[in-house]
Structure 1
Amino acid sequence: MAQDSEQFSDVVSRRKFLLTSGVAGVAGLAGCTGNSDTSDSSGSESNNGGNEGNDGSTDGNDKTTESQTLSGDIRISGSSTVYPVAQEVSRQFQQDHSEVGFNLTRDGSSGGFKNVFIPGDSDINNSSRPIADKEVQQCRDNGFEPVEFFIAQDALTIIVNNEADFIDSISLEDLKTIWSPDTAPKMWSDVNSDWPNEPLDLYGAATTSGTFDYFTEAVVGKEGKIRGDFEGTEEDDLIAQGVQGNKYAMGYLPFAYYTNNPDSVKALSVSEGGSKPVEPSLKAAQSGNYPLARPLFFYANMNKLQQKNHLQEFVRFYVNEADEDYIANEIGYVPSSKQMVEDNLNNLEAAIAGEYEFSR
């Protein structure tokens, strides 16, 4: 049975879920910072050792018992936000299964769906937003069911330059004014007369990114409706670098990438509807108090899950690892709860049996 991701399409229902999802204990998240290595400038990571042909089929060496060796290749596309999790989990899986090879790329959630996963070229697509209804239908039109796995949560972080001493917090309402194409202010002072009469230089996610989709809907209120005069990239470190080099810049990026650059930029607290500003943190994301808390997913091709034993075992491993402490301590996301792990394993078993059907 598919997990309900529709509740994340608006801010109110998202908070309700976060408050009741039973994510890893608050105390265990205190003081967490991210140290994951995502320095692959090419956007891909290829770990050879698999014995899979170019058509995605195995060579018959996949084994079905623990005493036998798993082999084959796994192609993972999609979100740069979820990439560090997939990178670390695949690294650990290879320690025990050296004959399984991985090809990981950072295509963006939307880019990965459109260009790689939906055409059937990847086994898994990471996503920093729920899969869209039209994308589900496109998968079905291509002969397979997308299987949803909700694995972590993020506190999307608004950043400014360290020398921007005129601002420490911002409201969702001011963010909307800044990023909406209907207003598109040129100067900081156009938004708030107490802010400097200096140009607003904006950095954010590329339009192929699930982070772009989430931010646009959560802040501006309409999918895809955002001003076009900003620097967009799939490389979150480049967003941090751009803001670091410009006193009057603003950007947004996943919390994990902010914690990897904690001294290079300043994170803003965020308020909504006159409420007290909330600092981005894993605890605030878990409680639902942070206005820009969001879910993270990966999606698997059900046909390939049924065909490939090594893919089944990797997804099982991925799901079970998603509630481990290192997801918070070393990467910087709120880990899965025990209930999320159980739901994900149920989805996996239903997919292997051919009984899974995606629904919201």
Structure 2
Amino acid sequence: MNIPTSLRRAKTPVVLTAAVLLAVSACGSAEAGPDGSGGEGEEPSGTVRVDGSSTVAPLSTVAAELFRAENAGVEVTVGTSGTGGGFDKFCHGETDISNASRAIEDVEASACKLKGVEYQELQVAGDGLSVVVGKDNDFVECLTVDQLRMIWQPGSTIDNWNQVDAAFPDRELELFGPGTESGTFDYFTEAVNGEKGASRADYKVNEDDDLIVRGVAGSEGGMGYFGHSYYEENKDELKALAIDGGDGCVAPTTQNVQDGSYKPLARPLFIYPKVSSLEKPEVAAFIEYYVENNERIAEKADFVPLGAEQDAELREDLDALKAKRES
């Protein structure tokens, strides 16, 4: 898979992981083998450890819930350390699968190689990074990329909507967004400001997307950005803006994300399974389930499902993962 350079950046872990850990509980199998993973021909049992992107977490959580309904002996834990924090844990052998809202960065790949951690990248959904305002905002429907840059670029002092457009009212502009540990921050800053990590710092930072939702919804002049699924879950309180990337205003709909017209904020979402973890039947079964049911999982979690070509590529990548395990 060809991954744009704009999706690559290294990160460090965040403290939020333990506090935001989501677990799909399960009971163990009475017939499991001594290692708790189940014997040959038996249903898998044990624990699958997933961590990483807070954007991808709801997708993997839905996958875990659906999988658990058919595999009661397996527990799947889904943590939210952020994309970079997740890769840090993954490369240190703490997890089986890393969720990522951008591709693994060269420095992270090197860290995994140093620790002998082999993996396979699997794109499991698409996302339209959504720029949102409060539901009661009645004066803005679309922003150009130039306007977004003017607001979010390093050193920007814009703090009123009428500085963005003279037609907008005299209203305080209150900004909310993810911190530097987030793959969403990486993607947005490069897509809008032209450089990964380049952003004004005087905005309300939160690694928890739900708190960004609350902040924007509760602010008369608020604006923020995050993955589209969080907008879908909270669209009664928020309005997603159309973005003009040079060809007119385009809304972050499923069709526009899939066909690439929602630019430059359409992006792929990934999971990275560890090759050695496939030796555990519960991990192998979960990954197989995730891939085989990716459309159902994406739709249930309010994510953008893969197109036909992307789905075919996902299945090829799964075959590549299995081949690595057997080699």
When the two structures are superposed, what TM-score results if normalisation uses the length of structure 2? 0.88
Distance 1:63 1:344, change over 3 A: farther
Write the distance in 2 (CA, Å) between the matches of 1:256 and 1:209.
Answer: 16
Query: What letter corresponds to residue 320 of structure 1 in structure 2?
Result: E
User: Residue 253 of structure 2 aligns with which residue?
Assistant: 281
Question: Is the CA contact (8 Å cut-off) linking 1:153 and 1:285 kept in structure 2?
Answer: yes
Query: What letter corresponds to residue 163 of structure 1 in structure 2?
Result: D
Write the distance in 2 (CA, Å) between the matches of 1:317 and 1:208.
Answer: 29
Does residue 71 of the first structure (1) align with residue 60 of the second (2)? no
User: Residue 97 of structure 1 aligns with which residue?
Assistant: 71
Deviations 1:60-116 (A, max 9, x none): 343465x312122111001111111111111122222222122211111112112x2
Question: Is the CA contact (8 Å cut-off) linking 2:6 and 2:190 kept in structure 1?
Answer: no
Aligned-residue offset at 1:269: 0.7
Write the distance in 2 (CA, Å) between the matches of 1:333 and 1:231.
Answer: 26
User: Residue 12 of structure 2 aligns with which residue?
Assistant: none
1:49 to 27, 42, 52: 27
Does residue 219 of the first structure (1) align with residue 196 of the second (2)? no
Write the distance in 1 (CA, Å) between the matches of 2:67 and 2:118.
Answer: 25
Query: What letter corresponds to residue 6 of structure 1 in structure 2?
Result: P
Equivalenced residues, count: 311
Does residue 349 of the first structure (1) align with residue 319 of the second (2)? no
Question: Is the CA contact (8 Å cut-off) linking 2:127 and 2:266 kept in structure 1?
Answer: yes
Query: What letter corresponds to residue 60 of structure 1 in structure 2?
Result: D
Q: Percent identity?
A: 33
Write the distance in 2 (CA, Å) between the matches of 1:49 and 1:288.
Answer: 43
Question: Is the CA contact (8 Å cut-off) linking 1:49 and 1:72 kept in structure 2?
Answer: no
- Equivalent position SS for 2:270: strand
User: Residue 115 of structure 2 aligns with which residue?
Assistant: 142
Write the distance in 2 (CA, Å) between the matches of 1:327 and 1:84.
Answer: 10
- Equivalent position SS for 1:213: helix
Question: Is the CA contact (8 Å cut-off) linking 2:122 and 2:272 kept in structure 1?
Answer: yes
Q: Aligned Cα RMSD in Å? A: 2.2
- Equivalent position SS for 2:295: coil
Question: Is the CA contact (8 Å cut-off) linking 2:232 and 2:302 kept in structure 1?
Answer: yes
Write the distance in 1 (CA, Å) between the matches of 2:4 and 2:174.
Answer: 33
Query: What letter corresponds to residue 89 of structure 1 in structure 2?
Result: A
Following superposition of structure 1 onto structure 2, how do residues 268-347 of structure 1 map, counting pairs within 5 Å? 268-273=241-246, 275-291=247-263, 292-305=265-278, 307-324=279-296, 326-328=297-299, 330-336=300-306, 337=308, 338-347=311-320
Distance 1:151 1:251, change over 3 A: same
Write the distance in 1 (CA, Å) between the matches of 2:312 and 2:50.
Answer: 25
- Equivalent position SS for 2:121: strand
Aligned-residue offset at 1:289: 0.7
Write the distance in 2 (CA, Å) between the matches of 1:182 and 1:89.
Answer: 41
Distance 1:319 1:64, change over 3 A: farther
Aligned-residue offset at 1:162: 2.3
Question: Is the CA contact (8 Å cut-off) linking 1:148 and 1:347 kept in structure 2?
Answer: no
> Larger deviation: 160-169 or 259-268?
160-169
Aligned-residue offset at 1:120: 1.1
Aligned-residue offset at 1:7: 6.3
Write the distance in 2 (CA, Å) between the matches of 1:69 and 1:295.
Answer: 32
> Larger deviation: 236-245 or 119-128?
236-245
Query: What letter corresponds to residue 61 of structure 2 in structure 1?
Result: Q
Aligned-residue offset at 1:290: 0.6
Question: Is the CA contact (8 Å cut-off) linking 1:161 and 1:248 kept in structure 2?
Answer: yes
Question: Is the CA contact (8 Å cut-off) linking 1:78 and 1:126 kept in structure 2?
Answer: yes
Distance 1:221 1:50, change over 3 A: farther
Write the distance in 1 (CA, Å) between the matches of 2:43 and 2:216.
Answer: 47
- Equivalent position SS for 1:350: helix
